[in-house]
Amino acid sequence: MIQRLLFPRRCPMCDSIIERNKLICDKCINIPRRVFGARCLKCSKHLNSQNAEYCYDCEKHKKSYVRGLALYEYDSVKDSINNFKNNSRPEYAEFFGDRIIHYLGADIKDFKADALVPIPLHPSKLKKRGYNQSELIAKVISEGLNIPLRNDVLTRKIKTKEQKKLDDSDRQKNLVGAFHMPRNGVKLDTVILVDDVYTTGSTVDEASRALLEGGVKKVYFVTVAVGVDKRQ
C-alpha cells in the first residue's frame, strides 16, 4: 500500500496516473495492436504474403527454438517498451504480463514447459537499470499460469552492443557466445524464454542455443511485441 501511494500505477501507454483497479487508461486501451491475421508458424510475426507459412527471416535462417508467441505489433508499443526499460517504469510489467496471460495463456500452457526462463541482462546493465524487464514479465506470467520461474538457468556472460543499433548481420554476430547455461547443471526438458521484443530473433535464437547445449530438449518463447515480416 505504501509503495502504491509513493509510486501510483501509471498507464503503460501515456504514463498518466490511473486508478488502482486498472492497468491501462480508457483513452489508451486501443493503442496496443495485437498481431493479426496469418502469423509465421515459427516466430508469430504477421505475414505480409497470404501464401506464405513463414516470415522472411524464418525462411532465411534456421532457428534453434521450436516456436514462439508474440502479443503486440512492435510499432504500437515501442514507446511504452522504451519507457519500461529505460525510464524506470518496472510497473508496466503488470500490464504486459496480464495481457499475455489473457490472450496467449492457453497456447503457453500447451507448450507444457517445465519453467519460464527470462532473457538475462549482463550484470553491468542490470546494476544500471535496477531490474530485468523480461524477468518482471515472466514473474507475472509465472504467477498467473502456475509455471515455475527460473532466473538461475541462463546467464549473460558477454556485454553486447544494443541490438537496435545494428543491422541484421551484425545483430547475429553481436550475440555469439553471449549466453551460458551450465551443462547438466539444471534438469529441464522444456522451457519458455521470455523477452520484451522479438525483431530478427537473434537474441532468442542465441539464448535458445545455449539452453540446448546445456541439456534442455525443447525451447519455446513468448514476447510482448514482435517486429514486421520483411517480405514485401
Cα separation, 180 vs 222, in Å, equals 20
Query: 176-194 pLDDT, tens per residue?
Result: 657 888 765 578 999 999 9
Q: Are residues 24 and 111 in the same domain?
A: no
159 falls within a domain: yes
Are the beta carbons of 116 and 192 closer than 8 angstroms? yes
Q: Are residues 36 and 26 in the same domain?
A: no
Cα separation, 35 vs 169, in Å, equals 25
Task: Please count the CA atoms within 13 angstroms of the CA of 11 that sit on its side-chain side.
Answer: 17
pLDDT score of 174 more than 70: no
Q: Are residues 89 and 195 in the same domain?
A: yes
Q: Are residues 24 and 42 in the same domain?
A: no
> With b meaning 16 or more CB within 10 Å and e meaning fewer, what string describes 57-91?
bbeeeebbbebbbbbbbbebbeebbebbbeeebbb
231 falls within a domain: no
Q: Are residues 19 and 86 in the same domain?
A: no
Q: Are residues 8 and 89 in the same domain?
A: no
pTM listed for this prediction: 0.89
The arithmetic mean of pLDDT across residues 56-77, rounded, is 95
What is the domain-level CATH number for residue 58? 3.40.50
Domain count, the chain: 2
| pLDDT for residue 82 | 95
229: amino acid identity, one letter: D
Domain housing 88: 32-226
| pLDDT for residue 67 | 97
Q: Are residues 50 and 160 in the same domain?
A: yes
pLDDT score of 8 more than 50: yes
Q: Are residues 82 and 49 in the same domain?
A: yes
Residues in a beta bridge with 135: none
Q: Are residues 115 and 152 in the same domain?
A: yes
Which residues, 6 or more positions from 21, have their beta carbon under 8 angstroms from its beta carbon? none
| pLDDT for residue 131 | 95
64 falls within a domain: yes
63 falls within a domain: yes
Q: Are residues 166 and 222 in the same domain?
A: yes
Report strand pairing: 179-180 vs 155-156: antiparallel
Task: Please count the CA atoms within 13 angstroms of the CA of 171 that sit on its side-chain side.
Answer: 16
Cell 507444457 belongs to: 112
232 falls within a domain: no
Q: Are residues 132 and 214 in the same domain?
A: yes
* Whole-number average pLDDT of the chain: 88
What DSSP element (H or E) covers 208?
helix 202-213
Q: Are residues 27 and 94 in the same domain?
A: no
Percent share of the chain, pLDDT over 90: 69
